[in-house]
Structure formats: C-alpha cells, structure tokens
Amino acid sequence: MHIEEITVKELKNKMDNKEAFTLIDVREPHEYNMSNIEGALHIPLGELGNELSSFNKNGYYILQCRSGKRSAAACELMQSAGFTNVVNLQGGILSWAEEIDGSLEVQ
C-alpha cells in the first residue's frame, strides 16, 4: 500500500490558501494537550477505526502524529476502509515545531 506524504511547508501553504482538507491528529490526549496544530481534529489512533463511518470517503485527509509513524498507520487504516485521498504529514508535529512554529513544546 502506497502512502502519499506532504511536508509541513506544503501543509502550511494549504492552510494559508484555505484549501479544503481535514487535518487529523492521531496522537494520544496528553500529547495533543501539550501542543497541537491549530484546526486539527483530535482522534487517537486507537479510536480512529470507530470514527471512520462519520467521514466522507471522498474527502481529503491529512494525518499527523509526533514523527509520522502512527499517522502512516492511520493512513493505511483509512485506505483499507476505502478512503482514497489520504496523506501523511512527513515528520509530524516535530517537523512542524522545527520548521513552522517554534513556540510549540514537543517531546
């Protein structure tokens, strides 16, 4: 299964241009509460499967975690459920904090 990736700079451009997509943060609650990307929908990876029926399979989704590994697994989960426009945020919130928003505290 091929997982498409997007860089944090590409995500920032999409946000600045107000493009239509849903950003889903699949980290655990304590991680999300510490720092998150504004506008991200928080659904921990373990709960994502139960939430998929509420999403449009034709929507455009960008999945994000700490470094990109859990969000890659989330992309695979969504693809196997029939979602076609699913993209992984390369480097996760670590890259976002490093390249876009240095004010975020990330562990």
Distance between CA atoms of 81 and 103, rounded to whole angstroms?
Answer: 36
pLDDT of residue 107 exceeding 80, the answer is no
pLDDT of residue 48 exceeding 80, the answer is yes
Identify the pLDDT of residue 51.
Answer: 96
- List, as own/partner pairs, every contact residues 41-46 make where C-beta atoms lie below 8 angstroms and the sequence separation is at least 24, other chains included: 45/70, 45/73, 45/74
Identify the pLDDT of residue 106.
Answer: 81
Instruction: Please tell me which residue in 37, 65, 87, 97 is annotated as part of the active site.
Output: 65
- 65 has catalytic annotation: yes
Name the 3-class secondary structure at 83: coil
Query: What's this model's pTM, rounded to 2 decimal places?
Result: 0.95
Angle 96-97-103 (CA atoms, 0-180°, nearest 5)?
140
Which are the contacts of 18, defined by CB distance < 8 A and separation ≥ 6? none
pLDDT of residue 1 exceeding 80, the answer is no
Fold of 4-99: Oxidized Rhodanese; domain 1 (3.40.250)
